[in-house]
Amino acid sequence: MPELPEVETVTRTLNIIAAGKTIQSVKVSLPRIIQKPSEPEVFAAALTGHTIEKVERRGKFIRFVLDGLVMVSHLRMEGRYGLFAADDPVEKHTHVRFRFTDGTELRYKDVRQFGTMHLFESGEEFRQPPLVKLGLEPLEDEFTLEALRSRLASRTSKIKPLLLNQEYIVGLGNIYVDEALHSAGIHPETTADRLKPEQWRKLHLSIRATLERAVEAGGSSIKSYVNGQGDPGSFQHQLLVYGRKNEPCPSCGDPIIKTVVGGRGTHYCGACQPLPKARRSAASAPLR
Give the Å distances, CA to CA, from 285 to 240, 282, 288.
Answer: 33, 6, 9
Q: How many residues interact with Zn ion (rule CB under 5 A)?
A: 7
- Which stretch, 46-54, 78-86, 166-174, 242-250, contacts Zn ion (CB under 5 A)? 242-250
Q: Least Å distance between CB 159 and Zn ion?
A: 18
Residue 147: Cβ-neighbour burial (10 angstroms; 0-12, 13-18, 19+): middle
Residue 86 within binding range of Zn ion, rule CB under 5 A: no
Separate counts of helices (H) and strands (E) for the chain:
6, 11
Residue 271 within binding range of Zn ion, rule CB under 5 A: yes
Q: Residue 251 — φ and ψ, nearest 5°?
A: -90, -45
Residue 186 within binding range of Zn ion, rule CB under 5 A: no
Contact criterion met (CB below 8 Å) for 219 and 2 = yes
Q: Least Å distance between CB 186 and Zn ion?
A: 12
Q: Which is nearer to Zn ion, 171 or 185 (CB)?
A: 185
Residues with active-site annotation: 2-3, 60, 264
Residue 111 within binding range of Zn ion, rule CB under 5 A: no
Residue 249 within binding range of Zn ion, rule CB under 5 A: yes
Q: Least Å distance between CB 260 and Zn ion?
A: 20
Strand-pair partners of 136? 169
Residues of 61-86 as b/e, b for ≥16 C-beta within 10 angstroms? bbbbbbeebbbbbbbbebbbbbbeee
Residue 252 within binding range of Zn ion, rule CB under 5 A: yes
Residues that bind Zn ion (CB under 5 A): 249, 251-252, 254, 269, 271-272
